[in-house]
């Protein structure tokens, strides 16, 4: 499944790396694309392994706010 997440607070390369790393480390995540300019993160994942709430929690643990 593919899902686009709106994230507030990402402003630099370190932000991008933190969010990318947190999501990529989750079991069941196939790919992560972080777009700093739009504040969006595209994630392809196995919905039998993860939920959207799991993705949201991983991002929020890095100190960012998920909008959707």
User: Over the stretch 15-66, which tens digit does the pLDDT of each residue have?
Assistant: 999 999 999 999 999 999 999 999 999 999 999 999 999 999 999 999 999 9
pLDDT at 68 over 90: no
What are the extents of the domains in the chain? 2-66
CATH architecture of 2-66: 2-Layer Sandwich (3.30)
Record the pTM.
Answer: 0.93
In angstroms, the CA 17 to CA 1 distance is: 22
In angstroms, the CA 59 to CA 63 distance is: 7
Containing 22, the helix (H) or strand (E) segment is helix 13-24
For position 14, what pLDDT does the model report?
96
């Amino acid at each position: 499944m593919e899902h686009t997440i709106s994230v507030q607070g990402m402003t630099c390369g370190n932000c991008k790396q933190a969010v990318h790393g947190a999501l990529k480390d989750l079991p069941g995540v196939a790919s992560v694309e972080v777009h700093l300019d739009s504040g969006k993160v595209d994630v392809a994942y196995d919905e039998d392994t993860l939920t959207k709430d799991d993705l949201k929690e991983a991002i929020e643990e890095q100190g960012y706010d998920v909008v959707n």
